[in-house]
Amino acid sequence: MDMSENIGRHLAELVAFRRDLHAHPELKYEEHRTSDRVAQALRALGLEVHRGLAGTGVVGTLRGRGPRAGDPSRAILLRADMDALPVQESNTFEHASTQPGRMHACGHDGHTAMLLLGAARVLAENPDFDGTVHFVFQPAEEGGAGARKMIEEGLFDLFPVEAAFALHNWPALPAGEFGVRVGPIMAAANRFEIRVNGRGAHAAQPHTGIDPIPVACAIVSQLQLLVSRGSDPLDSAVLTVGVIEAGTIENIIPARAVIKGTCRTLLPETQARLVDGIERIATHVAAAHMASAEVIVKNGYPPTINHPLEARFMADVMAELVGEDQVERDVPPAMTSEDFGFMLEAVPGAYGFIGNGGVSHSCENLHNAGYDFNDDILGLGVTFWAQLTRRWFSRDR
Ligand SMILES: [Zn+2]
Ligand SMILES: [Zn+2]
């Protein structure tokens, strides 16, 4: 069977499905309509469907034709995310969001369409591979750690796999190109809050209180040294204070100041060092000025670290489809973060980029109110997933 023809036959439907998802965005853990549509479509293709992991999560299982298709150790997981963002869409095209303040601004509508109506359908129509594929549609990638929740609720116990793969559209790469790399491809992200406790006083009598404002300012300036002086210049790290709050009026020294920020790194050990450093600097700088500081670190996502064999395999599949020139095998990592990192902590696998930019599609950046997934890349994405599956199960081990 000619796969490109097969995809071509479905392409109009695939575009319509993607645009329908775009018009009906749902926020993290509320992807009920999307989850229903995904489950229905998987059932219609004859896949076994499991629902309920992390609430709206859906897993569709497709067994190939080969003798090892029933062997649970010969299975892979392909993952798409389903959730949208709390953004007011500025686009005015026909498939723009119908939901005020909600938008598919990260292209998860495209990821779901490519994997579902695309790859699942093409492979279900011709399951000429010797193994099992679990198509995973996860909720809450955007800040809700849906991947972690699915794992905690038994994803890999119910669906053991030898490898997991995911693909994100990437506006910085032109359509028709791919990127991947061995090692970290997205950063770990933690949020932190520092509460500086002093003692309130009249603004004219500072010696009777402990002013938390200069203490907070000293902490913010000292935190800058953690990256600029404490980190290997070749090991990317960023620490940003995005909020500093204190006081109500100019003639009162407040009792408390609050600092909030985020730190992002590509390596877990760097992340641990920054978190330790934030705690150490905040408490000691506060103590030096007779104030105190409480530090609360909200653990975010781990770095997304690609495993070498799976990342190289993914790059080979990409190169086979579009040619070596169109594949960045050492694409620069991004300091954004991604909860697929939790899956790559649990099983081997890789996460890659599919170019979303292009001549006919001037793509805004991810999370921008003017962003849209580029429908021109749907067919390529489908072919990628189908090819990856066939190659994985036919490779020499
Ligand atoms: Zn996003
Ligand atoms: Zn995303």
CA dist., res. 180 & res. 95, Å (int): 30
Q: Which of 251, 268, 301 is the last residue in one of the domains?
A: 301
Rounded to the nearest integer, the mean pLDDT of the chain is 94
Question: What number of other Cβ atoms are within 10 A of residue 209's Cβ?
Answer: 17
Residue 171 phi/psi, 5° resolution? Answer: -60, -25
Asked whether residue 210 falls in the same domain as residue 327, the answer is: no
Asked whether residue 279 falls in the same domain as residue 341, the answer is: no
Asked whether residue 20 falls in the same domain as residue 106, the answer is: yes
Angle between helices 3-23 and 378-394 (to 10 degrees): 120
DSSP 88-101: -----STTS-SSTT
Asked whether residue 124 falls in the same domain as residue 50, the answer is: yes
C-alpha of residue 222 to centroid of ligand 2, in Å: 33
By the CB criterion, residues less than 5 angstroms from ion ligand 2 are: 106
Asked whether residue 284 falls in the same domain as residue 309, the answer is: no
Query: In the beta sheet, which residues pair with residue 61?
Result: 48, 134
C-alpha of residue 274 to centroid of ligand 2, in Å: 25
Q: What is the largest CA-CA distance in the chain?
A: 85
Q: What is the chain's alpha carbon radius of gyration, rounded to the nearest angstrom?
A: 24
CA dist., res. 321 & res. 299, Å (int): 38
pTM over the 0.75 mark: yes
Ligand nearest to the Cα of 81, by number: 2
Asked whether residue 73 falls in the same domain as residue 156, the answer is: yes
Asked whether residue 20 falls in the same domain as residue 104, the answer is: yes
CA dist., res. 61 & res. 73, Å (int): 14
In this predicted model, what pLDDT tens digit does every residue of 299-357 receive, in sequence order? 889 999 999 999 999 999 999 999 999 999 999 999 999 999 999 999 999 999 999 98
Asked whether residue 251 falls in the same domain as residue 366, the answer is: no
C-alpha of residue 106 to centroid of ligand 1, in Å: 5
Domain that holds residue 90: 3-186+303-394
pLDDT of amino acid 2: 47
By the CB criterion, residues less than 5 angstroms from ion ligand 1 are: 106
Higher-confidence residue of 303 and 364: namely 303
C-alpha of residue 218 to centroid of ligand 1, in Å: 33
**91-95, Cβ contacts within 8 angstroms, sequence gap of 24 or more:** 91/369, 91/370, 91/372, 93/372, 94/19, 95/19, 95/20, 95/22, 95/23
Q: How far apart are the first and last CA of the chain?
A: 26
C-alpha of residue 214 to centroid of ligand 1, in Å: 36
Alpha-carbon dihedral 372, 317, 118, 5, rounded to 10 degrees: 110
Output the six-digit token pair for 49.
């469907």
CA dist., res. 190 & res. 337, Å (int): 10
Bridge-based pairing state of the strands 252-253 and 201-202: antiparallel
Say which DSSP state 59 is in: E
C-alpha of residue 205 to centroid of ligand 1, in Å: 49
Q: Which of 267, 301, 335 is the last residue in one of the domains?
A: 301
Task: Specify whether the CB–CB gap between 96 and 153 falls below 8 A.
Answer: no
Question: What number of other Cβ atoms are within 10 A of residue 16's Cβ?
Answer: 14
The yes-or-no verdict on residue 5 having pLDDT over 70 is: no
Asked whether residue 15 falls in the same domain as residue 147, the answer is: yes
In this predicted model, what pLDDT tens digit does every residue of 122-137 receive, in sequence order? 999 999 999 999 999 9
Helix, strand, or coil (residue 194): strand
Q: What is the mean pLDDT of residues 194-208?
A: 97
C-alpha of residue 169 to centroid of ligand 1, in Å: 10
C-alpha of residue 291 to centroid of ligand 1, in Å: 39
Asked whether residue 58 falls in the same domain as residue 205, the answer is: no
Task: Specify whether the CB–CB gap between 268 and 303 falls below 8 A.
Answer: yes
C-alpha of residue 106 to centroid of ligand 2, in Å: 5
In this predicted model, what pLDDT tens digit does every residue of 142-184 receive, in sequence order? 999 999 999 999 999 999 999 999 999 999 999 999 999 999 9
Q: What is the mean pLDDT of residues 4-8?
A: 64
In this predicted model, what pLDDT tens digit does every residue of 263-295 receive, in sequence order? 999 998 999 999 999 999 999 999 999 999 999
Q: What is the mean pLDDT of residues 33-61?
A: 97
C-alpha of residue 92 to centroid of ligand 2, in Å: 22
Task: Specify whether the CB–CB gap between 185 and 328 falls below 8 A.
Answer: no
C-alpha of residue 323 to centroid of ligand 2, in Å: 26
Give the count of domains, the chain.
2
Asked whether residue 48 falls in the same domain as residue 195, the answer is: no
CA dist., res. 179 & res. 355, Å (int): 8
Q: Which of 301, 326, 353 is the last residue in one of the domains?
A: 301
C-alpha of residue 366 to centroid of ligand 1, in Å: 6
Check which CATH number belongs to the domain holding 292 and give it: 3.30.70.360
* C-alpha 170, offset from chain centre: 12
C-alpha of residue 291 to centroid of ligand 2, in Å: 41
Band of the pLDDT at 29, cuts 50, 70, 90?
Answer: very high
Asked whether residue 157 falls in the same domain as residue 293, the answer is: no
According to DSSP H, which parts of 45-107 are helical? none
C-alpha of residue 354 to centroid of ligand 2, in Å: 12
C-alpha of residue 188 to centroid of ligand 2, in Å: 15
Q: Which residue shows structure tokens 């950063």?
A: 187
C-alpha of residue 371 to centroid of ligand 2, in Å: 12
C-alpha of residue 164 to centroid of ligand 2, in Å: 17
Nearest Cα residue to 135 out of 94, 164, 105, 110: 164
